[in-house]
Amino acid sequence: MPELPEVETVVRELREEICGDIISSVEIFRSNPIVQGDLDTFQEQLCGRKFMDVKRRAKYLIFDLEPKRYLVAHLRMTGKFIVSEPLLEPTKHNRVWFNLESGRQMIFDDIRCFGTLEVYDDLADSKSLQKLGIEPLSKAMTLGYFIKNLGSSKREIKSVMLDQKIIAGLGNIYVSEILFRSRINPQRSTGSINKKEWSLIIKYTKYILQEAIKNNGTTISDFRRVDDKTGAFQQFLQVYDKKGMPCTECGTPIQRIVQQQRSTFFCPECQR
C-alpha cells in the first residue's frame, strides 16, 4: 500500500499526535509475523518510554523514544497507524495497541500482517535500514549518482526504480507515474537512459512525490491517514490502474504489463 508520500503523511500526523506522550502499556492481539522477536521483551522495551519524535527513512517509520530507544515500523501493503480515543475491544484487524498515558491510543492495524515492528537501542543495528539507497527528495539524488551506479546496467528501468538499495521510497504507483511523465518506456534498459532522460526522471520523481505529499498520499483502496481519512493524490494519477483508458496526452489506451511480478502501466505511444 504505502510508498514514500503515504508514509510521510502518516509520520507528520503521528508527530503531531503523539510527541510528548508516554507508552503506558502495549497489547498484542496478533504478533505473527508482525512483531519481531520475543513479545514480552517487546512490551518491556517500550513501556514507560516517551515519544520524542517520529521520522521517516524510505518507507520506514522511526519513532524516537526517551530514554533512548527506537521503534522501527514498516507498513508493507496494508499496515496503518491510527490514533484515537481508546477502544474497548480491538476491531478485526487491530494487531497491536500502544496505550498512552494521556489516555489515548495508538493502534497498529494490518489486514495482511506483512507489516513489521522492531525495537532498537541503536539504529545502526537495523540491517534493513542499512541497506537502503538514497532518499529521492534529498540532495543525493543527482545525475552523477545514476550515471556512476547505473550507466552500464542492463536491468530494466522500472526494476531499478523499485530497487530500495538504489532509490529508497518509490513503489509501484509512483514509478509508473514518474516514467509516464518522463516519457520513458518502463522496459528500457537502464544503460540506454541518456543524461537528458535521467534529468527528467530526477525532476519528475521530486515533483510527483512532493505533489503527492501535499495531497496526503494516494488511496486506491486501503491507505488511510492517522485520523482514518483517505489521501487525495489518486485524482492526479495518469496511468496507474488505468488499463484501457485513453492516455491524457495522446488518447492511446494505457497498457498493463507485468515486470518483476508486478503490474506496470504505461502509454506505448508517449513512452519510448
Partner DNA sequence: AGCGGAACCTGTCGGC
Partner DNA sequence: TGCCGACAGGTTCCGC
Catalytic site positions:
2-3, 59, 262
Interface positions, 153-192, toward DNA (CB under 7 A): 153-156, 159, 162, 164, 171-173
Torsion of CA 159, 134, 211, 110, to 10 degrees: 70
Q: Is 214 in the site for DNA (CB under 7 A)?
A: no
**Selected binder of DNA within 32, 130, 194, 235 (CB under 7 A):** 32
Could you say which of 55, 68, 112, 195 contacts DNA (CB under 7 A)? Answer: 112
223 binds DNA, rule: CB under 7 A: yes
Query: Is 221 an interacting residue with respect to DNA (CB under 7 A)?
Result: yes
- The answer to whether 136 contacts DNA (rule: CB under 7 A) is no
# chain residues binding DNA, by CB under 7 A: 42
CA 113/CA 30 separation, integer angstroms: 9
- Is position 76 an interface residue for DNA (rule: CB under 7 A)? yes
Nearer to DNA, 131 or 229 (CB): 131
- In this chain, which of 43, 69, 104, 114 binds DNA, going by CB under 7 A? 114
C-alpha cell belonging to residue 126: 537495523
Establish if 52 lies at the interface with DNA (CB under 7 A).
no
Does 205 bind DNA (CB under 7 A)? Our answer is: no
Crossing angle of helices 195-214 and 143-150, in 10° steps, is 120
Question: Facing residues of 116 across strands?
Answer: 74
Least separation in angstroms between residue 21's CB and DNA is 27
**Does 123 engage in binding with DNA (CB under 7 A)?**
no
Contact residues toward DNA (CB under 7 A) are 1-3, 6, 32-33, 58-59, 74, 76-77, 92-93, 111-114, 128, 131, 153-156, 159, 162, 164, 171-173, 217-223, 258-263
